[in-house]
Amino acid sequence: MNWEMLLHEIETLDSYKRFGKVTRVIGLMIEAKGPESSVGDVCYIHVGGGRKKIAAEVVGFREQHVLLMPFSTVQDIAPGCIVEATGKPLQVKVGMELIGKVLDSLGQPLDGGSLPKGLRSLSIEQEPPNPLLRPPIAEPVEVGVRLIDSLLTVGKGQRVGIFAGSGVGKSTLLGMIARNTNADVNVIALIGERGREVREFIERDLGPEGLSRSIVVVATSDQPALMRIKGAYTATAIAEYFRDKGMNVMLMMDSVTRVAMAQREVGLSIGEPPTTKGYTPSVFAILPKLLERTGTNEHGSITAFYTVLVDGDDMNEPISDTVRGILDGHFVLERNLANKGQYPAINVLKSISRVMNYIIPPEHKAAAERFRQLLSTYMHSEDLINIGAYKRGSSREIDEAIRYYPKLLDFLKQDTHEKFTKEESIHMLLQLVHSG
């Protein structure tokens, strides 16, 4: 036993307990007179004569009253219920033993079991790394999806947004990446998902192979707004723990839009003014703070994929626009490509990896540009070709694009359980563009 650490804990222990009383409940918000606390602190509300405790977080103040948001429902809370302050923000247990586990937003096993021994406590609220201590992204990470590894190469520590409407294949793509990547560990956050989809994702998309090297954090759509927000913070904190151990971590969050919607609920409940599309100012304040926590630091890297649910397939709605401006690249999934049977349904011409050109050799870069040029030429002339208005021989570039198009289309398609190494993907790309 470390006696020095134990003595330090005893000396710094706050032996006072601070209490307050619930005065009213309005919607999701609980107002209490006291206790002395700070924004972000966890409090316990004693209900049923003290036989049960409900965890809540301090989200603001109104005059001399404390505004709290519960981690569960507000049922059983009545005027006069005792509110006990802990004086600490939410902490979760982390460690290597969590790999292969499915957790809730508070870091507890979702199956109701107990946590493994030997874990350490960590606050879920962390500051982003110092910009001057972030090493530049210098090498690619393998994701096992041919289209991404060859045409939209992702670097270790890069943050990418996957933009798509509902039902276009975001979860399937995340499952492929989780199974095929060469990252040391995956941390997957399922935020605001339908309850039905959680088990389907774990068993069908992720599979035993993917789960054996992953930690899954789940906050379903029926849970309170605060739990959905904390799910994103908990997953990010777990990823940061593994990064600080010098590991190459893959963080996948589905979806950041539902985190923003949950923050909007909290903001409106405490009286924030609604702005664009009803989103409150705090939404646009927490997004950069959350997204900037990933990436590289002096110890390791977190390569992050954030899915963005675009409302009505509108890529310029407020959350899409904000997230796209923060991240280091975006992949656009399109419904019309999915309807044609192209999976993954990524529109290569509308997608970009902002670090790709700095981490690939010139030969690979030239081949990727050649592929894009051929595909772009065909897509711009597709209507003329389909109605028979284009005559062969009118343009050498279009004739060449027509000849290549079936090969390009085959290259873009990949079966869900197919896996290609990064080297195989690049070799196939080079073969295709030089096939003549």
Residue 256 identity (one-letter amino acid): V
Q: DSSP character for 111? A: T
Structure tokens at 133: 């201590």
Q: Is 1 a residue whose pLDDT tops 60?
A: no
How confident is the model over 373-390, as pLDDT tens digits? 999 998 988 777 777 777
Which residue is it, tokens 């977080």? 57
Taken in order of first residue, the domains within the chain and their CATH numbers are: 17-89 (2.40.10.170), 92-357 (3.40.50.12240), 363-435 (1.20.1270.330)
Tell me the whole-structure pTM to 2 decimals: 0.90
How far is C-alpha 103 from the chain's CA centre? Answer: 15
228, 57 contact by CB (below 8 A): no
The mean predicted confidence, pLDDT, of the chain is: 89
**Four-residue CA torsion sign, 180, 183, 187, 191:** negative
Q: What pLDDT band is residue 124 in, cutting at 50, 70 and 90?
A: very high
Structure tokens at 231: 């799910």
60, 67 contact by CB (below 8 A): yes
Q: What pLDDT band is residue 293 in, cutting at 50, 70 and 90?
A: very high
